[in-house]
Amino acid sequence: MTAVKHCPRCGQLKTAEEFYRRHRRRRLSSYCQPCTQAASQETQRHRRQVPASAEVLRAVDRTRQRRQRALRRQGGDAR
C-alpha cells in the first residue's frame, strides 16, 4: 500500500514519493515537490525586487563567484 498525503497549497492528494523527505528521511515535507519549488521561486523573485534584500543577495552572489574562481584557479572543486 502506497502512503498518500494531502498538500495544503495545491489541495491534492499525492503519493509520498511526490514529497521531499525531512529530518534524516523520517518525515515528509508539508508541501509537494512542485509546490515547494514554486514557493521557492516566488520567494526568490520577491526578494530580488526589494532593494535592501536584493543588495544582500548580490553581495552573497559576488562572494560565491569569487570563491568559485579562486578554487578553479587552484584546481579544486568549485562548489
In this model, does residue 2 exceed pLDDT 80? no
AA letter at 50: V
Mean pLDDT of the region 57-70: 93
Q: Give the residue from 24, 27, 29 showing the smallest Cα distance to 8.
A: 29
pLDDT digits (tens, 9 = 90+) for 10-58: 999 999 999 999 877 788 999 999 999 999 999 988 888 888 888 888 8
Helices and strands counted in the chain (H then E): 2, 4
Residue 59 or residue 79, greater confidence = 59
The DSSP line for 1-17 is ---EEE-TTT--EEEGG
Burial of 68 (0-12, 13-18, 19+ CB in 10 A): middle
